[in-house]
């Protein structure tokens, strides 16, 4: 079945460091891909999305490119801030269905 695998955390970085969180997926056809972020005690917020191959989603300095050939959607940010500390979820919606299938989540902690 369709699934999402993302790197295990926690990821601990110093402020202004470069961030990469790896995400790969298994799906038939062309799913839509998403990154959601969950701040402590809150619900999930959409960070960015891409709906077709080679699309790049971007928001608040975060970027991810839909790579069909490697079935990946890695999240990157050039310079993280303490306020970026949260849990990041990679997810997909399979073609023909709207249910979000989530990865396990990656906790990011950024220290000053």
Partner 1 sequence: DSGVTQTPKHLITATGQRVTLRCSPRSGDLSVYWYQQSLDQGLQFLIQYYNGEERAKGNILERFSAQQFPDLHSELNLSSLELGDSALYFCASSPFDRNTDTQYFGPGTRLTVL
> Is 19 or 101 the residue whose CB approaches partner 1 more closely?
101
Cβ 46 to partner 1 shortest distance, Å:
5
Integer Cα distance of 31 and 50 in angstroms: 9
Which CB, 34 or 110, lies closer to partner 1? 34
> In degrees rounded to 5, what are phi and psi of residue 55?
-65, 145
For β-strands 44-50 and 32-38, DSSP reports them as antiparallel
Among 56, 60, 68, 99, binds partner 1 (CB under 8 A): 99
* H or E stretch covering 45: strand 44-50
What is the rounded distance in angstroms from the CA atom of residue 6 to the CA atom of residue 106?
7
List the structure tokens of 51: 């709906």
74 close to 5: Cβ distance less than 8 angstroms: no
Tell me how far, at minimum, the Cβ of 101 lies from partner 1, in Å: 7
> In this complex, which beta carbon is closest to partner 1, that of residue 23 or of residue 31?
31
Q: Which of residues 25-84 bind partner 1 (CB under 8 A)?
A: 31-32, 34, 36, 42-46, 49, 51
Binding site for partner 1 (CB under 8 A): 31-32, 34, 36, 42-46, 49, 51, 89, 91, 93-105
């Amino acid at each position: 079945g369709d699934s999402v695998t993302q790197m295990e955390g926690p990821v601990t970085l110093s402020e202004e460091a470069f961030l990469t969180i790896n995400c790969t997926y298994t799906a038939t056809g062309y799913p839509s891909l998403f990154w959601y972020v969950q701040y402590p005690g809150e619900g999930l917020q959409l960070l960015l999305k891409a709906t077709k191959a080679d699309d790049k989603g971007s928001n608040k300095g975060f970027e991810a490119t839909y790579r069909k050939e490697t079935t990946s959607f890695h999240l990157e940010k050039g310079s993280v801030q303490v306020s970026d500390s949260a849990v990041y979820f990679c997810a997909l919606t399979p073609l023909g269905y709207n249910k979000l299938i989530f990865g396990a989540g990656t906790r990011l902690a950024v220290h000053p």
